[in-house]
Amino acid sequence: MQNYIIAVKQLFNFAEVYSLYPNIAKGVKGAKVSGNIKDQYFTAQQTKSAQPYG
């Protein structure tokens, strides 16, 4: 998501420099993700119960 926002901001910056379009993304800031998100994996039992033919 952050890469998409950067690309859009650069596109509008380019368009403004060449007077093609005003920079409507000038005040847009990227989203912040907290660093305390942990990956949660399925247990072997959860994986077996999720299989349609098992």
17 falls within a domain: yes
Q: What is the pLDDT of residue 18?
A: 97
Q: How far apart are CA 39 and CA 25, in angstroms?
A: 33
Does the pLDDT of residue 24 top 60, yes or no?
Answer: yes
14 falls within a domain: yes
Average pLDDT of every residue of the chain: 85
Q: How far apart are CA 36 and CA 16, in angstroms?
A: 38
50 falls within a domain: no
* pLDDT tens figures, 27-53: 988 777 666 767 778 888 888 888 777
Q: Are 2 and 31 in contact (CB under 8 A)?
A: yes
Please tell me the total count of domains within the chain: 1
Could you tell me the residue range of the domain that residue 20 belongs to?
1-27
3 falls within a domain: yes
34 falls within a domain: no
Q: What is the pLDDT of residue 51?
A: 75
Q: Is the dihedral of CA 41, 46, 48, 52 positive or negative?
A: negative
53 falls within a domain: no
Place of tokens 């859009």: 8
38 falls within a domain: no
Residues 1-26: what's their mean pLDDT?
Answer: 93
22 falls within a domain: yes
